[in-house]
Structure 1
Amino acid sequence: MESKRQQKVARQLQKDLSEIFQREVPHLFNGAFITVTSVRISPDLSVARVYLSFLATKNKDMLLESIREKGKMIRQHLGERVRHQLRIVPELGFYIDDTVEYADKMDKLFHGLDIPPAPAEDDDDE
């Protein structure tokens, strides 16, 4: 379970990274719309796992690899934003957030199930 400090820092990082991807460096990723869906941060605030969702892109893995290659530059932009709030700018790890695809898959599985109706219970007291 995350502490309140971890949660606050994670929310701030999510907000700042979203603005970086959408306003400062969108030209680096060929117009792909990148959404920061969540951020998980270590207890010592030194490592952040950033979960991303992509729109307007054909190859998500190539885009993720491009983001990872430009990770130092993204971290530098982040450092400029949080330098007065954090002592250490966390190391960033980028991951694809596949919860939407997983939810769609589970939804399709549930709709494909053939569940027979429950047998009617008799209310006779014998």
Structure 2
Amino acid sequence: MVIFIFMESIRQKKITTLIQEKMAEIFRREISGQTRLISVSQVRISPDLRLAKIYLSIFPVENKEQIFLHIANRSTYYKNLLARCIRNQLRGIPELDFRLDNSLDNLENVDRELRGEGENPIKS
């Protein structure tokens, strides 16, 4: 049995850092004056540098699915904004695939359960 482990190259790491910083700036500009926060929690780029998966955390939680769908439907718009920012550093701009990062929600649920505020099947 052969197991392949894919490691990010140094170039991939540099590009993911660059994209994460620039997308965070773009979202900061886009939502200035509004009462929500969109953070870029992680970026993963394919080995051929053609696809970037961008994981977003959205606060407040109430309308996050609507906000996420709005962002995902405008991925071409955000790709163009990103291209303006990094056109001198990167020849080809990857396609942007936005994903919703639920890790903070999961941590909040675990914390609530540990405090005894959630439904605990063991307490019966």
TM-score (norm 2): 0.78
Say which SS state the counterpart of residue 27 (structure 2) adopts. helix
Q: Which amino acid in the other structure matches residue 69 of structure 2?
A: E
Range 52-61 or range 81-90, more displaced: 52-61
**Contact 1:32–1:57, Cα closer than 8 Å, also in 2:** no
Q: Which amino acid in the other structure matches residue 61 of structure 1?
A: E
The count of residues paired between Structure 1 and Structure 2 equals 111
Pick one of 45, 50, 55 that aligns with 2:49. 45
Q: What does residue range 29-108 of structure 1 map to in structure 2 within 5 Å?
A: 31-56=35-60, 58-108=62-112
User: Structure 1, residues 104-126: CA drift from partner, whole Å, max 9, x if none?
Assistant: 33445566698xxxxxxxxxxxx
Pick one of 16, 21, 27 that aligns with 2:22. 16
TM-score (norm 1): 0.77
Q: Which runs of 5+ in 1 are unaligned?
A: 115-126
Percent identity (aligned): 35
Query: How large is the Cα RMSD of the aligned pairs?
Result: 2.1
Range 9-18 or range 100-109, more displaced: 100-109
